[in-house]
Amino acid sequence: MAHTVAFVLKGYPRLSETFIAQEILALERLGLDIRLISLRHPTDTATHPVHREIQAPVSYLPEYLHQAPIRVLRSWWRARRQPGYGPALALWRRDWQRDRTRNRLRRWGQALVLASELPVGVKHIHAHFLHTPASVARYAALIAGLPWSVSAHAKDIWTSPDWEKREKLSDCQWLVTCTRTNVDHLRRLADNPERVELVYHGLDFERFAPPAPRRDPALPVILAVGRAVDKKGFDDLLAALARLPSELPWRLVHIGGGPELPALKARAETLGLSPYIEWRGPQPQERVLQAYRDADVFVLPCRISADGDRDGLPNVLMEAQSQRLACISTRISGVPELIIPDKTGLLVPERDVDALSQALVRLLREPALRRRLGEAGFRRVHKHFSLQGGVQRLAIHFGIKTRLAA
């Protein structure tokens, strides 16, 4: 069996991070001994089935240092006796000079707790996300004298300063990320570009079994799944829906929580769309899967936000395609790596409401086109985006010997 690895996560469990949970479970089943370390307590009221299958124990670091002063002080007293404490403190001080924020101070306190309370047997620390979790992992690994690695995704890459990404790339043992766009960007910053590797998350097709044949309904259902945040572009979707021909029947189902949900509902009311929209809020995976099977069109009009935040390769697009659902999205980040325009789905420019509306009209009016794109997307996602391919690459990094890796 491979050595024990501590996985540092921003929050666990999270409904919006199924891709992380399915990866953890797959690595467990290959024999990796995992300890989960979460920077935050869960806020979702439900969990996915995959979370209940994961065996790894979870530890929670103090979310805010002032809430656990004795624990933090005790951890500092223990950590300062470790040989790596001095270099780690010097590193944090350099970071503090460039980023004098509460968040930076909290990362140091959490790293002290992690280093002093590291579970017995842990020989490697792996962070999911290149921003806060990687900072905590980096400081703690230096204190404890351990190697560390990171999986980088989307917001964590594009909202972090280049100096910090460059230095983390220099310190980590290896980094994996989920789109070619991310790989190209990070390799330009790395002193050793070979340290950066493309690993798609992929899907566990045992959980996303093929659907029954689709019918041509009189009232087509448009499905949108994702948190109500700016980068998802759901206000563009509402504007596009408002421009659909009045005689064209449709209804929209949205699944997901998020801070902008009240504003989206108010906007829908203003546009006169509320009677045609069902807001279901956050849902567990089995209900999301049923929604894919009940829908006729899937749409995710993602875009780049003003602060640089953007999606990588949204798992919901792969999930929709696994259910033979025709998809509409935008030409940003890793989306074109999944969707080939007019072959496996439709792509429009980000923030182009007219183009988005026209794409919706095409799919709503042409059932044959929906079936053709849905079938082609189904074949492509099964051929190129299986969970097992990415997990095998991670298994090699973590030192797990498997049939395919041997």
pTM recorded for the entire structure: 0.89
User: Based on the domain organization, do 186 and 305 belong to the same domain?
Assistant: no
User: Based on the domain organization, do 22 and 40 belong to the same domain?
Assistant: yes
pLDDT (0 to 100) of residue 176: 97
User: Based on the domain organization, do 45 and 138 belong to the same domain?
Assistant: yes
Query: Is there a contact between 368 and 361 (Cβ–Cβ < 8 Å)?
Result: no
pLDDT (0 to 100) of residue 406: 39
User: Based on the domain organization, do 88 and 147 belong to the same domain?
Assistant: yes
340: pLDDT strictly greater than 90: yes
User: Based on the domain organization, do 31 and 143 belong to the same domain?
Assistant: yes
**pLDDT, tens only, 220-240:** 999 999 999 999 999 999 999
User: Based on the domain organization, do 172 and 230 belong to the same domain?
Assistant: no
pLDDT (0 to 100) of residue 43: 87
Please report whether residue 207 resides in a domain. no
The enclosing domain of 59 has a CATH number of: 3.40.50.2000
Please report whether residue 258 resides in a domain. yes
pLDDT (0 to 100) of residue 40: 95
| Band of residue 404 on the pLDDT scale cut at 50, 70, 90 | very low
Mean pLDDT, residues 240-251 taken together? 97
pLDDT (0 to 100) of residue 46: 82
Please report, rounded to a whole number, the percentage of residues in the chain having pLDDT higher than 90. 89
Parent domain of 58: 4-202+386-397
Please report whether residue 144 resides in a domain. yes
User: Based on the domain organization, do 175 and 33 belong to the same domain?
Assistant: yes
402: pLDDT strictly greater than 50: yes
| Band of residue 405 on the pLDDT scale cut at 50, 70, 90 | very low
| Band of residue 206 on the pLDDT scale cut at 50, 70, 90 | confident
User: Based on the domain organization, do 73 and 146 belong to the same domain?
Assistant: yes
The count of domains in the chain is 2
Mean pLDDT, residues 11-17 taken together? 89
**pLDDT, tens only, 268-290:** 999 999 999 999 999 998 999 99
Please report whether residue 404 resides in a domain. no
User: Based on the domain organization, do 194 and 237 belong to the same domain?
Assistant: no
45: pLDDT strictly greater than 90: no
Please report, rounded to a whole number, the percentage of residues in the chain having pLDDT higher than 70. 98
**pLDDT, tens only, 108-144:** 999 999 999 999 999 999 999 999 999 999 999 999 9
382: pLDDT strictly greater than 60: yes
**pLDDT, tens only, 139-165:** 999 999 999 999 999 999 999 999 999
**pLDDT, tens only, 185-201:** 999 999 999 999 999 98
pLDDT (0 to 100) of residue 2: 57
User: Based on the domain organization, do 252 and 127 belong to the same domain?
Assistant: no
**pLDDT, tens only, 300-313:** 999 999 999 999 99
Please report whether residue 252 resides in a domain. yes
Query: Is there a contact between 254 and 274 (Cβ–Cβ < 8 Å)?
Result: no
pLDDT (0 to 100) of residue 212: 82
| Band of residue 48 on the pLDDT scale cut at 50, 70, 90 | confident
Please report whether residue 209 resides in a domain. no
- Give the whole-angstrom CA distance, residue 262 versus residue 276: 17
Does residue 210 or residue 35 have the better pLDDT?
35
Mean pLDDT, residues 78-92 taken together? 97
User: Based on the domain organization, do 245 and 279 belong to the same domain?
Assistant: yes
User: Based on the domain organization, do 348 and 390 belong to the same domain?
Assistant: no
Please report whether residue 373 resides in a domain. yes
13: pLDDT strictly greater than 70: yes
pLDDT (0 to 100) of residue 49: 87
**Chain mean pLDDT for the chain:** 94
Please report whether residue 214 resides in a domain. no
